[in-house]
């Protein structure tokens, strides 16, 4: 059942809101002409009425004759989280009728934050940069949450209107223009949505009904009520939101934030219902839409088909892949990184996705995960950087400030030539060294102080002190991309390296085919060498990665075939120290691999 204000055309708008315990609900039209119109209640606690209201009409709901609150399913909050809601006409001159979408296996994702990707920090200011992403080889952008949040700067995870589009980014029209332009450029759009909590400021859901439960606690307070009394209507609120983004905004995929914080003990979990809803939507449209989950559970149920007892999500982020790469390159072993750091673990990640598939985790002090070895490789999204893994560091320092130039090239190659869906974080491709820090713009002094204290507590596990002030404008301004660096020497070479790796991934069948059945990965310890052999028909590739800070001479098993070197990060072309690897490979020969380097041979 659709909720919110749904403009029907011809000056008619349908208002519907769930408030099961209220004795009366009316829509109070604030502008252009003050009116109070009673709504009628149905058996399920929904209040509704079709009334005369044009697009642009401002309104609130009046509860029990006195309490006035914005629409919890507001499509637009032009006056901010505490202001009136606005009726939106979703008619738009779309030009993407020929858009066929991007197959899951062909996604090369670029995660970005609207407010810091460009100096202007708007949807429309991204459009001129799409040609840059096209040239790089990107096939999808992933936009961090755009649900209306307090103030003008926020990561987006403090959103309180899950249907609303952030006013300071450009609102509904701005987002549609961006999606339409992306499709014209051959780029899919993934939207990050948050269903595990709402932000603390401007959250008025409590006034309407039992959207939350004290049965479970999340890091952000009471959990969303997905399995208690009245949870059918709570689920409907979020399921309709998913369909709303796919239908009204032509979004190609949703990245569902932290599904491990969606607490649900029901026999038919909400996450399974969500997967089913998207599958049903896909039966009505020629463009396939996807659900990509963020989960730290290492639970294969998230991506298993619903008929096999899974949730039926199309893919998930793979934290283990990030963590092992990060520890091998940086040597950091504090916090959750203590479970990683061994070269053999990277070989497992490349073969199976999860490293922890039931083994004991020292960090968690218990066994962790189950096996995903039988799932298709295209169901895993891997990266070396993302908003969490950068922004949740003390000063938001990127990998470019933690490892040297050679290490950055190795990181890129490991991700982009893996059998999984690669994801870059904005600026990574040219070695952006500006931090990406956590920032908010709340208005409540007590809340601001609470956020400061909470951040400081989080950093204790890593032994970090003196956290920056997330409320200050400085951390926001410091987090903006420095586009003037992309043509500077090292930055330009790194960007060219990324572009070449993406090109090889697309054009080489053994790399373009995400098939772990024709994948062989071996590791050499203590040398810290990874050898990857992938095949697809007559196409074969052999990748050699050295994670050590010294050159290493090894004699790896070389499969039959005529292998020629196509790229080597140690070559002078890539600002390397010079390679000692031969151009053609011969069985049984010893190979000297340069420190922190990657080389790819193809047949």
In 3-state terms, what secondary structure has residue 235?
A: helix
CA atoms within 13 A on the CB side of 194: 21
Question: Of these residues, 71, 201, 294, 429, which one is catalytic?
Answer: 294
Mark whether 404 is an active-site residue: no
> Token digits for 244?
């709303």
φ, ψ dihedrals at 430, nearest 5°: -120, 15
Contact partners, residue 101, CB within 8 Å, separation at least 6? 188, 252, 287, 288, 289
CA dist list (Å): 78 to 37, 70, 159, 296, 559: 22, 12, 14, 35, 62
> Token digits for 361?
């985790």
501: left (phi over 0), alpha (psi -120 to 50) or beta: alpha
Mark whether 257 is an active-site residue: yes
> Any idea of the CA torsion for 291, 294, 295, 298, to the nearest 10 degrees?
70
In 3-state terms, what secondary structure has residue 380?
A: strand
Q: Which residue has the tokens 């330009």?
A: 492
CA atoms within 13 A on the CB side of 355: 24
Task: Report how far residue 598's alpha carbon sits from residue 595's, in angstroms, rounded to the nearest whole number.
Answer: 9
CB-based burial of residue 40 (10 Å sphere; 0-12 exposed, 13-18 middle, 19+ buried)? exposed
| Cis previous bond, 50, omega within 30 | no
Buried b (16+ CB within 10 A) or exposed e, 480-506: bbeeebbeeeebebbbebbebbbebbe
Q: What is the CA radius of gyration of the chain?
A: 25
On whether the CB atoms of residues 83 and 167 are closer than 8 A, the answer is no
On whether the CB atoms of residues 180 and 250 are closer than 8 A, the answer is yes
On whether the CB atoms of residues 127 and 178 are closer than 8 A, the answer is yes
Question: Of these residues, 158, 180, 257, 388, which one is catalytic?
Answer: 257
Percent helix, strand and coil across the chain, each to the nearest 5: 30, 25, 45
On whether the CB atoms of residues 436 and 112 are closer than 8 A, the answer is no
In 3-state terms, what secondary structure has residue 181?
A: helix
| Cis previous bond, 500, omega within 30 | no
> Token digits for 323?
């963590």
CA dist list (Å): 392 to 151, 172, 328, 438: 21, 29, 19, 7
CA atoms within 13 A on the CB side of 421: 26
> Token digits for 122?
């708007």
- Catalytic annotation, residues: 257, 294
């Amino acid at each position: 059942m659709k909720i919110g204000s749904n403009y029907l055309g011809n000056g008619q708008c349908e208002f519907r809101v769930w408030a099961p315990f209220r004795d009366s609900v009316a829509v109070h039209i604030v502008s252009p002409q003050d009116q109070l119109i009673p709504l009628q209640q149905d058996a399920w606690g929904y209040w509704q009425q079709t009334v005369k209201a044009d697009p642009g009409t401002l309104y609130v709901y009046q509860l029990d004759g006195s309490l006035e609150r914005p629409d919890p399913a507001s499509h637009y909050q032009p006056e901010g989280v505490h202001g009136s809601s606005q009726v939106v006409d979703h008619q738009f001159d779309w030009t993407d009728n020929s858009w066929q979408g991007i197959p899951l296996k062909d996604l090369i994702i670029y995660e970005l934050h609207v407010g810091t990707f460009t100096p202007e920090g708007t949807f429309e200011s991204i459009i001129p940069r799409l040609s840059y992403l096209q040239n790089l080889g990107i096939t999808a952008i992933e936009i961090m949450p755009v649900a209306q949040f307090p103030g003008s700067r926020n990561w987006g995870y403090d959103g309180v209107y899950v249907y609303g589009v952030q006013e300071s980014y450009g609102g509904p029209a701005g987002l549609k223009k961006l999606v339409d332009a992306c499709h014209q450029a051959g780029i899919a759009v993934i939207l990050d949505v948050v269903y595990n909590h709402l932000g603390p400021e401007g959250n008025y859901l409590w006034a309407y009904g039992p959207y939350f439960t004290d049965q479970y606690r999340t890091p952000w307070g009471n959990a969303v009520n997905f399995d208690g009394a009245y949870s059918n209507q709570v689920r409907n609120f979020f399921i309709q939101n998913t369909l709303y983004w796919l239908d009204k905004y032509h979004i190609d995929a949703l990245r569902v934030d932290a599904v491990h914080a969606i607490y649900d003990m029901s026999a038919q979990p909400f996450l399974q219902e969500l997967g089913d809803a998207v599958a049903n939507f896909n039966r009505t449209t020629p463009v396939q839409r996807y659900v990509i989950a963020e989960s730290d559970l290492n639970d294969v149920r998230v991506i298993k088909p619903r008929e096999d007892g899974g949730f039926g999500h199309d893919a998930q982020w793979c934290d283990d892949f990030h963590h092992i790469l990060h520890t091998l390159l940086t040597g950091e072993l504090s916090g959750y990184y203590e479970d990683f750091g061994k070269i053999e673990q990277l070989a497992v990640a490349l073969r199976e996705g999860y490293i922890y598939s039931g083994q004991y985790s020292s960090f968690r002090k218990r066994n962790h995960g189950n096996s995903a070895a039988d799932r298709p490789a295209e169901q895993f999204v891997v990266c070396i950087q993302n908003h969490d893994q950068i922004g949740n560091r003390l000063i938001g320092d990127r990998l470019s400030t933690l490892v040297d130039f050679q290490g950055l090239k190795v990181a890129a190659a490991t991700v982009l030539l893996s059998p999984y869906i690669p994801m870059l974080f904005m600026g990574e491709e040219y070695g952006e060294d500006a931090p990406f820090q956590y920032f908010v713009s709340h208005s409540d002094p007590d809340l601001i102080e609470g956020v400061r204290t909470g951040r400081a507590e989080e950093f204790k596990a890593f032994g970090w002190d003196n956290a920056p002030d997330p409320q200050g404008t400085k951390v926001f301004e410091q987090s903006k991309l420095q586009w003037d660096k992309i043509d500077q020497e090292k930055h330009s070479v790194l960007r060219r390296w990324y572009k070449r790796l993406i090109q090889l991934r697309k054009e080489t069948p053994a790399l373009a085919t995400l098939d772990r059945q024709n994948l062989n990965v071996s590791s050499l310890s203590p040398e810290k060498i990874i050898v990857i052999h992938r095949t697809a028909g007559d196409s074969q590739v052999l990748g050699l990665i050295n994670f050590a800070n010294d050159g290493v001479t090894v004699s790896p098993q070389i499969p039959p075939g005529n292998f020629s070197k196509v790229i080597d990060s140690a070559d002078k072309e890539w600002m390397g120290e010079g390679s000692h690897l031969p151009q053609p490979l011969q069985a049984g020969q010893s190979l000297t691999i340069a420190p922190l380097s990657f080389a790819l041979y193809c047949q």
